């Protein structure tokens, strides 16, 4: 269906669209630098904010509970939709999966990400070290983090120090969840770009998150919580980069083997680095992450390794779209 839509597109009028939140400013600013028409699809209460920016040509207000008509309208406008975390949250993964509009990246990852077990399964298939997963409280040998399915924005997690505490806390929990070993170390989130045009995986940048009750001045008075309020830039010890690259490439390979299509566009691996410098990945995101906003406008320090000028992720996406448009190969970067 998507290939058919793309074939009907007027490439001279190609538009880049996204949902007005998360990384929309970053994505649309990059798209405008490459001369694309830009569309932000906003919730009625935030449309005014996006209307003040010159690089956004159109701001539409939409009802996300019924996304199909919006997707159809985007297709009629020759738009490629750039998905992000808020898009999946607003429209829900089922609508995101079926929306009749060419969507940057590998859309079927959305379904895998909706299930914590499938998500961890893909990382394991890639051979990337992940936290141990326990099937029941009985098996637990140390501190654990319990994640509810659909946990987002840092909510929907809790900890237990040992199997007794875990059993108590699980007693009242009916929702689907996963019990993971709690890994000790520092968090680090890696941003990648898989480029079908240049046949490579680029390490594009990294960040850490600024999270309320783990980074806040809580003096041990409240339970830890991970509600993300922003992101902070990070550069890593160079000796860690080959491992980060290897895991990024291994992920792309696992996607190809599992779903039978090439990884494309931005994605992220989310990790804890332990004090022996080993990296344990506890999560992935199959699309742009909000942490890329740390280098909006200025470009990521890593982008200069691939291009002769600093680029941010919005610009990197636009560059790939532009290259694909010139080569008549747009279908290779959307799904």
List 121, 154, 216, 310, residue binding ligand AMP (CB under 6 A): 154
List 123, 128, 183, 206, residue binding ligand AMP (CB under 6 A): 183
Cβ nearer to ligand AMP, comparing 100 with 156: 156
What Cα–Cα distance (Å) separates residue 288 from each residue in 28, 110, 168, 229, 239?
13, 12, 37, 17, 25
- Who's near 152: CB < 8 A, 6+ residues apart? 85, 89
List 182, 253, 259, 332, residue binding ligand AMP (CB under 6 A): 182
Cβ nearer to ligand AMP, comparing 116 with 315: 116
Q: Find the shortest distance in angstroms from Cβ 212 to ligand AMP.
A: 11
List 67, 158, 204, 282, residue binding ligand AMP (CB under 6 A): 282
Cβ nearer to ligand AMP, comparing 81 with 188: 188
Q: Write out 93-154 in H/E/C secondary structure.
A: HHHHHHCCCCEECCCCHHHHHCCHHHHHHHHHHCCCCCCCEECCHHHCCCCEEEEEEEEECC
The CA distance from 125 to 45, in Å, is: 42
DSSP string, 232-247: EE----GGGHHHHHHH
Stretch that binds ligand AMP, among 78-86, 106-114, 180-188, 323-331 (CB under 6 A): 180-188
Phi–psi pair at 219, nearest 5 degrees:
50, 35
Angle between helices 116-125 and 241-259 (to 10 degrees): 110
Q: Find the shortest distance in angstroms from Cβ 202 to ligand AMP.
A: 22
Q: Is 207 in the site for ligand AMP (CB under 6 A)?
A: no
Cβ nearer to ligand AMP, comparing 11 with 186: 186
Site for ligand AMP in 45-84 (CB under 6 A): none
Cβ nearer to ligand AMP, comparing 83 with 102: 83
Q: Is 236 in the site for ligand AMP (CB under 6 A)?
A: no
- What per-residue string of b and e applies to 58-75 under the rule 16 or more CB within 10 Å gives b? ebbebebeebeebbebbb
Q: Is 284 in the site for ligand AMP (CB under 6 A)?
A: no
Q: Is the distance from CB of 290 to CB of 178 less than 8 angstroms?
A: no
Angle between helices 313-327 and 24-33 (to 10 degrees): 40
Stretch that binds ligand AMP, among 106-114, 174-182, 239-247, 320-328 (CB under 6 A): 174-182
Stretch that binds ligand AMP, among 33-41, 53-61, 178-186, 311-319 (CB under 6 A): 178-186
Q: Is 226 in the site for ligand AMP (CB under 6 A)?
A: yes
Q: Is 215 in the site for ligand AMP (CB under 6 A)?
A: no
Stretch that binds ligand AMP, among 47-55, 63-71, 73-81, 177-185 (CB under 6 A): 177-185
Q: Is 210 in the site for ligand AMP (CB under 6 A)?
A: no
Say how many residues touch ligand AMP, by CB under 6 A.
Answer: 14
Cβ nearer to ligand AMP, comparing 224 with 310: 224
Is beta strand 133-134 parallel, antiparallel or unpaired with respect to 79-81? unpaired
List 58, 115, 262, 270, residue binding ligand AMP (CB under 6 A): 270
Where would I find the H helices in the chain?
Answer: 2-7, 24-33, 47-51, 68-76, 85-91, 93-98, 109-113, 116-125, 163-170, 212-215, 241-259, 313-327
Q: Is 158 in the site for ligand AMP (CB under 6 A)?
A: no
Stretch that binds ligand AMP, among 93-101, 179-187, 243-251, 321-329 (CB under 6 A): 179-187
Paired with 279 in beta bridges are 273
Can you give the binding site for ligand AMP, defined by CB under 6 A?
131, 145, 154, 180-183, 187, 209, 226, 270, 272, 282-283
């Amino acid at each position: 269906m998507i290939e058919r839509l793309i074939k009907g597109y007027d490439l001279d009028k190609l538009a880049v669209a996204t949902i007005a939140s998360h990384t929309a400013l970053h994505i649309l600013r990059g798209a405008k630098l490459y001369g694309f028409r830009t569309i932000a699809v906003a919730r009625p209460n935030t449309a005014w904010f996006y209307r003040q920016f010159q690089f956004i040509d159109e701001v539409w207000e939409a009802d996300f509970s019924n996304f199909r008509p919006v997707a159809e309208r985007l297709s009629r406008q020759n738009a490629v939709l750039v998905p992000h975390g808020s898009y999946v949250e607003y429209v829900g993964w089922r609508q995101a999966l079926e929306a009749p509009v060419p969507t940057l990246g590998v859309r079927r990852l959305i379904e895998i990400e909706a299930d914590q077990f499938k998500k961890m399964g893909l990382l394991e298939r890639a051979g990337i070290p992940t936290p141990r997963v326990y099937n029941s409280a009985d098996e637990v040998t140390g501190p654990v983090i319990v994640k509810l399915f659909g946990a987002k924005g840092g909510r929907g997690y809790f900890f237990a120090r040992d199997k007794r505490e875990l059993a108590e806390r699980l007693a009242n929990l009916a929702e689907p969840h996963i019990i993971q070993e709690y890994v000790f170390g520092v968090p680090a989130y890696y941003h990648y770009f898989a480029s079908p045009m240049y046949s490579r995986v680029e390490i594009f940048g990294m960040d850490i998150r600024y999270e309320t009750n783990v980074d806040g001045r809580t003096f041990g008075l409240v339970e830890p919580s991970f509600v993300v309020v922003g992101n902070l830039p990070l550069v890593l010890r160079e000796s860690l980069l080959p491992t980060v690259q290897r895991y990024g490439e291994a992920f792309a390979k696992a996607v190809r083997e599992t779903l039978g299509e090439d990884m494309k566009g931005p994605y992220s691996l989310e990790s804890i680095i332990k004090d022996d410098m080993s990296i344990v990945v506890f999560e992935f995101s199959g699309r742009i992450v909000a942490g890329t906003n740390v280098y909006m406008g200025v470009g990521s320090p890593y982008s200069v390794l691939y291009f002769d000028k600093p680029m941010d992720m919005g610009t990197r996406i636009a560059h790939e779209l532009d290259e694909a448009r010139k080569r008549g190969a747009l279908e290779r970067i959307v799904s």
